Amino acid sequence: MSDKDEAHYPPVDPYASGFNGRCPRCGEGRLFSGYLQLAQSCSVCGLDYDFADAGDGPAVFVILLIGFLVVGLALWLEVSYGPPLWLHLLVWIPLSLALCLWLLRALKGVLINLQFKHNAHEGELDNG
């Protein structure tokens, strides 16, 4: 990000813009063209999204967060009330799917926005 970009575009909160699926530079354009498919560029400021590569990061965070939450709640429910197995299946499977699908897109947006803010790119070895 150059000084010209910083002067022209005010700082954007990477967490708010990421959760809302907005451009990391202007905070207004759409980051995604599909559910998880990135757009080619921002329709407002023209930022090219070729730099963006969240990799497996969002999926790992989703597995850890939702797994911790759902398993903890399922254990609490089992110990406290002892419901039948069908009730566990009826409650936890749809809840897990809904939370994972919602959080996956949001975390991908946040990680891409943080990548832009910190000018992160693939590591390189210095052979000099």
Domain positions in the chain? 3-117
Higher pLDDT residue, 6 or 98? 98
Q: Does residue 9 surpass a pLDDT of 70?
A: yes
User: From the CB of residue 70, how many other CB atoms can be counted at a distance below 10 Å?
Assistant: 17
Burial 12-21 (b: 16+ CB within 10 A, else e): bebeebbbeb
Higher pLDDT residue, 42 or 8? 42
pTM (2 d.p.):
0.82
| 69 band by pLDDT with thresholds 50, 70 and 90 | very high
- Name the phi and psi angles at 2, rounded to 5: -90, 170
pLDDT for the residue 126: 66
Tokens of 6: 């910083």
